[in-house]
Chain A
Amino acid sequence: MSVSTSTGAGLTSGVGASVINTTALTKRYPRVTALDGLTMDIGPGVTGLVGANGAGKSTLIKILLGLAPATEGTARVLGHDSAAEGTAIREQVGYMPEHDCLPPDVSATEFVVHMGRMSGLPPTAARERTADTLRHVGLYEERYRPMGGYSTGMKQRVKLAQALVHDPRLVLLDEPTNGLDPAGRDDMLGLIRRIHTDFGISVLVTSHLLGELERTSDHIVVIDGGRLLRSQTTASFTEATASLAVEVTDSDTHPDGAAALRAALAGRGVEATPAPGQLLVVETADEAVYDTVRDAVAELGLGLVRMEQRRHRIAEVFQEAQP
């Protein structure tokens, strides 16, 4: 099962068709099998790697960076074999770990300069690229202060900056939205999108939430128990999973607004199911559904409280995929 993205590669033209390619990749530890015959092909763009905790995401990243040998199978990153050419891979790849990794008593600038030099940048280039990169991730004056006093959002930005400072061709981001509040999460997802669209760097981003990656990624890979569950473009994924939650007010003519809307929608050939809290859930087969709902609500003279895309949890995808 392999699907490659066909999204506009844009700035990454010149990069081969495959950024990450694994064949029957298996990793067994003495007690658990972390990856089990994983075969996939990931092209340029933003790829979301979704899986529950313990699905094998971190193990996969370790193997891709050439830091752990696979038990069986092969992995190629940017055309290099991860078992034999780990150094070549790590020169062109940036990695943002899930956990905290910042010493509190140095400033973001000093830290990112040091990490730039560790990636082989000469001293002047390391300083210039640090200033550029910190500005791109949205750290300004605070970059001169010790990192111990930073908020979680600022720390995540520094972690991202150190992964980008050497201008890699691919970045591996492990749970970059972990611990962020909703606004910070949106900022981070926007930034991840820009890494590809503005910087021309391919991204592999992991999360245990499918919903947040839907908006950001061109391509989604779902793994569970070390096996590939799904690999497809986000568009086809959204079709399969998106639904619309609608809440309307009641009026004098329609004491139960939700029920009235449900009947009206049924008349238009759109099926809606009631959900707790006076909500109606409408499956969004295509874009026209939004208009249908709007027109139906207007015709009934009801107030539209909200109409929002429902984010599917990863668990629901598993239920769908596993009959």
Chain B
Amino acid sequence: MTPPTAQDARIHNIGYRRYEGERLGAGYARLSLFVHSLRGGFGLGRSARSKVLPFGLFAIMCFPAVVMVAVAVMTGLDEMPIEYQGYGLAMQPILSLYIALAAPQMVSLDLRFRTIPLYFSRPMSPADYVRAKFAALSAAIFLFVAIPLTIAYAGGLLAELGFADQTSGYLRGLVAAAVLAVTHAGVALVVASRTPRRGFGVAAIIAVLTVPYFAVTAVQAIANEQGGSDAIGWLGLFSPTTLMDGLQSAFLGGTSGFPGEAGPSTGAGVGYLLVTVGLVALCHVLLVRRYRKAGL
């Protein structure tokens, strides 16, 4: 606690002052909420304790990128050991854990401490609130994936790997990270906004992100043994993780993690795109509906 200074003493004698300055309205409030939530996603502006997990996970997320660079430099490889497009998916367990922590941090606390009415009694509408939170979590997940990619890219250039190759891979990696961020943010927020209990939110998000993945992978493995390689592609539509995997292998030139590296056919690829767009739109609608009723 700081002792009062002479300046404080002077301020104490001023009476109430009106505010005649500008009022920046809902758009500015939305942007402020976005920045505030994005910082909160990494524990910035909160207690030291809430910074430990996000930054710990982030360090783990960056570690393979650093190792990749080291290996590439030491052994003189001519390309990166892991594709940029698949980096986020390869790190899926760490990423899921981060999303499961960040999403309840962004929305469950406002519900639990009943801060929501304070937002909605201001110019901001429920839709503004949802967009700010959606954008903030998407941006947090994107940074979580894109920064390790950037480390790998910078290292790749230092190791004098092919510039054109590296740049095109890096850019496609960024696109994959952006799509992954938006879809996962949507799913995680829909789950987190249903409960004011942070612990439930964390567990439910991990379940929603991993259970369908294991189910789809298991069925794909069976389909592979039965020789139905076409079915493998279509099955990937049914979990967020395999959805991203199919999308990046269909459109971004990556290799899928499906059995036999069988990516979706062109027809299925269009299906992947439609399902992804539909999923994001659905999450947005569900969130706005959730908050329209969360009034006072």
| Residues of A that sit less than 8 Å from B by CB | 58, 61-62, 65, 67-68, 87, 90-91, 93-95, 97, 99-106, 110, 114-115, 117-122, 125, 129, 131-132, 135-136, 141, 144, 146, 162, 166-167, 198-200
Chain B residues with Cβ below 8 Å from A87 are 26, 123, 125
Closest CB-CB distance, A155 to chain B, in whole Å?
A: 11
Q: Nearest chain B CB to A262's CB is how many angstroms away?
A: 49
CB neighbours of A68 from chain B (8 A): 295
CB<8 Å pairs between A and B, sample of 10: A87-B123, A99-B114, A100-B113, A105-B46, A118-B33, A121-B23, A125-B19, A132-B14, A141-B1, A146-B47
Residues of B near A97 (CB, < 8 A) are 114, 117-118, 121, 296
In angstroms, Cα B281 to Cα A149, docked, is 41
- Chain A's closest residue to B31 (CB) is A117
B residues within 8 A CB of A119?
Answer: 23, 29, 122-123
Collect the chain B residues with CB atoms within 8 Å of residue A105's CB. 46-47, 50
Nearest to B32 among chain A residues (CB) is A117
Q: Would you call A90 and B121 a contact (CB within 8 A)? A: yes
Instruction: Name the distance in Å between B24's Cβ and chain A's nearest Cβ.
Output: 4
Pairwise interchain contact A62-B17, C-beta atoms closer than 8 A:
no
B36 at the interface (CB under 8 A from A): yes
- Check B26 against A101 for contact (C-beta < 8 Å): no
User: Are B17 and A118 closer than 8 Å at their CB atoms?
Assistant: no
Which residues on the A side are within 8 Å of B113 (C-beta)?
100-104
Which B residue sits closest to A68, measured CB to CB?
B295
Task: Give chain B's interface secondary structure class.
Answer: loop
Residue in chain B with minimal CB distance to A146: B47
Instruction: Give, as a whole number of angstroms, the nearest-CB distance from B21 to chain A.
Output: 5
Given contacts A62-B295, A114-B36, A166-B19, contact A135 B114 (CB under 8 A): no
In the assembled complex, how far is the CB of residue B197 from the closest CB belonging to chain A, in whole angstroms? 15
- B2 proximity list for chain A (CB < 8 A): 141, 144
Chain A neighbourhood of B33, CB < 8 A: 118
CB <8 Å contact, B124 and A118: yes
A104 to B117 alpha-carbon distance, docked (Å): 17
- Among residues of B, the one whose C-beta sits closest to the C-beta of A88 is B123
Closest A residue, CB atoms, query B292: A67
What's the least CB distance linking B227 to chain A, in Å? 56
9 smallest beta-carbon distances between A and B, as pairs: A167-B19, A95-B121, A120-B23, A117-B32, A120-B24, A199-B16, A103-B113, A101-B114, A118-B29
A67-B295, A87-B26 are contacts. A106–B122 as well, Cβ < 8 Å? no
The answer, among B23, B32, B109, for a CB contact under 8 Å with A166, is: B23
Task: Contact check, B118 vs A115: say whether CB atoms are below 8 A apart.
Answer: yes
Q: Which of A61, A102, A117 contacts B296 (CB 8 A)?
A: A61
Q: Determine if B122 and A67 form an interchain contact, defined as CB atoms under 8 angstroms apart.
A: no
Question: Whole-angstrom distance from the CB of B284 to the nearest CB of chain A?
Answer: 21
Known A103-B113, A105-B47, A141-B1; contact A118-B19, beta-carbon cutoff 8 A: no
Q: How far is the CA of A62 from the CA of B50 in the complex (A)?
A: 35
The tally of residues in B whose CB lies under 8 Å from a CB in A reads 42
Let me know if B17 and A132 touch, CB within 8 A. yes
Question: Which of B47, B118, B124 interacts with A162 by CB under 8 Å?
Answer: B118
**A58 surroundings in chain B (CB, below 8 A):** 296
Does B213 touch A at the CB level, under 8 Å? Answer: no
Residues of B contacting A162 in the complex (Cβ-Cβ under 8 angstroms): 118
With A105-B46, A105-B47, A135-B12 as given contacts, are A120 and B28 in contact (CB-CB < 8 Å)? yes
Per-residue CB contact flags for chain B residues 131-150 toward chain A (1 = under 8 Å, else 0) read: 00000000000000000000
B25 engages A91 (CB within 8 Å): yes
Tell me the bound Cα distance from A99 to B45 in angstroms. Answer: 25
Known A-B contacts A62-B296, A91-B25, A118-B32; A101 and B118 likewise in contact (beta carbons under 8 Å): yes
Q: Least Cβ distance of A54 to chain B in Å?
A: 15
Given A90-B122, A99-B114, A118-B124, residue A167 in contact with residue B296 (CB < 8 A): no
Q: Interface centre among B12, B32, B110, by most A CB within 10 Å?
A: B32
Are B22 and A103 closer than 8 Å at their CB atoms? no
Can you list, as one digit per residue, whether each of B85-111 has a CB less than 8 Å from chain A (1) or not (0)?
000000000000000000000000110
Contacts of B15 in A (CB 8 A): 198
Check if A125 sits within 8 Å of B21, measured CB to CB.
yes
| A103 with B24: CB separation less than 8 A | no
Name the residue on A nearest B12 (C-beta). Answer: A135
A100 CA / B110 CA spacing, docked (Å): 12
Partner of B29 from the list A62, A120, A131, A199 (CB cut-off 8 Å) is A120
Nearest-CB distance from B5 to chain A (Å)? 12
Q: Known contacts A105-B46, A118-B122, A144-B1; decide if A95 and B117 are in contact (CB<8 Å).
A: yes
Say yes or no for B119: interface residue by CB 8 A criterion.
yes
Q: Is B74 located at the chain interface by the 8 A CB criterion?
A: no
A119 and B47 alpha carbons, distance in the complex (Å):
25
CB of B18 within 8 Å of the partner chain: yes
B168 at the interface (CB under 8 A from A): no
Please tell me if B120 contacts chain A, counting CB pairs below 8 Å.
yes
User: Would you call A198 and B16 a contact (CB within 8 A)?
Assistant: yes
* A94 surroundings in chain B (CB, below 8 A): 121
Which chain A residue has the least Cβ–Cβ distance from B114? A101
